[in-house]
Amino acid sequence: MNIYEEAQQSEIIFDRYLDSEVVLPYSFDEIKIQANDTVSSELLNIKMQHLYDNFLYLYKQTLIASNVIPISSTAIAGITGNDANVTFYYNASTSQFVPLSSQSDFTGVDNSNTMVLVKNRDLDQYTIFSGYETTLRAYNFDTAASYFSNSYTTSEVNPGFGVGFECLTALAINNDYLFAVDSGLHRLIKYDISGFTSDNNILRNNLVYLDSIGNFGTFNSKTEFNSPRGVAAYNNYVFVLDSGNSSIKKYDLNLNWVATYKLYNDFLSAYPIDLSVDSIGNLYVLTQNKSLILRYSNDLTKKEIFDLTPLQLQNESFIKIVFSQDNTNVFYLVSTRNIYKKLVSNPYDTVGRYLLYFFKYDVPNEKITTFASASSVGADRNIIFSKFGNTGKFGYFYDNLNLYDILAVNNFDIYNFDDIKFNSNEYLQSWVFNKNISKIVTNHMRLRDQIIGKFLAVKDARGNVTFRGTRYLLPFELNSIYFEYDTTYCIGANEILLNNIVNRIFKKVLNIQEVLINILKAEKNISPLENNPVNLN
């Protein structure tokens, strides 16, 4: 079997990043057969499975996600004229721009507190829907960032009917629908946005009001809220974070009430400020407590708490969680100063934070006001609105998980576990054991033969340890991982399948694994570099 296919069937997630701990899943104490155990096919298969899982883990560690993020800047933009378009600068500092808020067509965009990004499925065009206090705007731009224009503006919930927004707080998109939450009106509003998501000549660049529910109400009210702060859409449902009532309320796409989840105990010491949903429907609540995120299952029957203390926040506060539209294992934790890139499979730790000083951001004085992400081919197109003093800036970045490997070939053939395990119908004797152990040793030799390099990391002038790519293995390193299958991996013809004899062979295989995992660890040079990081593309 091809190892890449085996990794997919085993649902291996390649989620290694620079600071992740690299340790074999099973130690010798877990692999060895205990003194009071009887050697049997069933027991041997358990131990062989441990060795095989260790082997797959080694393969998983041959890929690492770079923390030099974002990968590149498509454009950095500021207003230079009085028309509805933006002039783009590349690698330009904020001091070159004038405030976005000073231009009538862009008033408040640099103060936006909520934003979503959507790709037009028919045109080479993206649309940003941005909420700024009492105004909802749409901005269009193309993939190459050759233009950025204000295409729609409204200050009324239903244009022409005289009811104005009071405090737009959150936006979410589901197919051709935009859902908006106004915490001042205590209201959830639904719009048709097919004029932005498709080449619709009739509705082009028009936002069509469809329905709304709300007014000030208590937890017991099915269609009323108290200062709602978040909204998320998943499949055929919309979830509203009813912050003032310490609850999450669930509706269908026609805004019919489905359920209310009272979460008073969870929010007692951690006021909820944002709601997001991942690719499988788990709900994430961001709180004013800087040290935690709450994750709930889609039916809110299960809860997890993620401690964010290791981020050591300074002069910043979290504002939202945004999930990658390209990679279901990636999400962005956005603060007023940083974009932290994290993994759904391991949300406790961080792949890295955006190194915005590479792109002429005034770190840490520049304040991020909001962030959004949309899918491109194999990557995310990410938007940052920020401001420095009275100056606003629009940043358009390209990003993905950006995995690097140290293998010559990453899809070589191996024996899968069905090839290696002991058949209960097979008479258990030394030659049967030797046959199966030779296959797992061969797997390690095939992996070893593809390892050609070592991961590199350095500390830059600001003290950030950043990924620098790979280097080839040196001769002494190649020698350190060299081994051949020989009789020392076999049980002799005159030996009996006893615990200590089997353990002797298991220990030799584990020794191979420990040598290989040592070579897979990143080499870190902690001497600060004054120059910019190498271009990893």
Q: What is the pLDDT of residues 274-331, one digit of tens each?
A: 999 999 999 999 998 877 799 999 999 999 998 887 787 778 889 999 999 999 999 9
Name the β-bridge partners of 275.
285
What pLDDT is stored for residue 284 in this prediction? 96
Domain boundaries, the chain: 3-66+405-529, 72-401
Across 432-459, b (16+ Cβ under 10 Å) vs e yields bbbebbebbbebbeebbebbebbbbbbe
Q: Looking at residue 423, what is its pLDDT?
A: 86
- Identify whether the C-beta of residue 114 lies closer than 8 Å to the C-beta of residue 104: no
d(CA 516, CA 250): 50
Question: What is the per-residue pLDDT for 308?
Answer: 82
Supply φ then ψ for residue 111, to 5 degrees.
-110, 10
Other CB atoms within a 10 A radius of the CB of residue 89 amount to 16
- From 2.120.10.30, 2.170.190.11, 3.40.50.2300, 3.20.20.70, which CATH number describes the 72-401 domain? 2.120.10.30
Residue 71 CA, distance from chain mean position: 15
Work out the angle at residue 149's Cα, subtended by the Cα atoms of residues 148 and 154, and round it to the nearest 5 degrees: 140
Which of 291, 257, 102, 285 lies closest to 188 in space, CA to CA?
257
Mean pLDDT by 10 residues, the chain (537 residues): 92 91 95 90 94 97 94 72 59 69 69 90 93 91 82 92 93 95 97 95 93 95 96 96 96 97 91 94 90 89 87 85 93 94 90 90 88 89 86 85 92 94 82 92 96 92 88 94 91 86 95 96 72 37
pLDDT of 87: 64
How distant, in Å, are the alpha carbons of 329, 342, 393, 466, 525 from that of 354? 17, 11, 16, 11, 21
pLDDT at res. 530 = 45
Q: Is the dihedral of CA 398, 401, 406, 412 positive or negative?
A: negative
**DSSP secondary structure code for residue 474 in this structure:** P
Q: How far apart are CA 115 and CA 281, in angstroms?
A: 21
The whole-number pLDDT of residue 92 equals 67
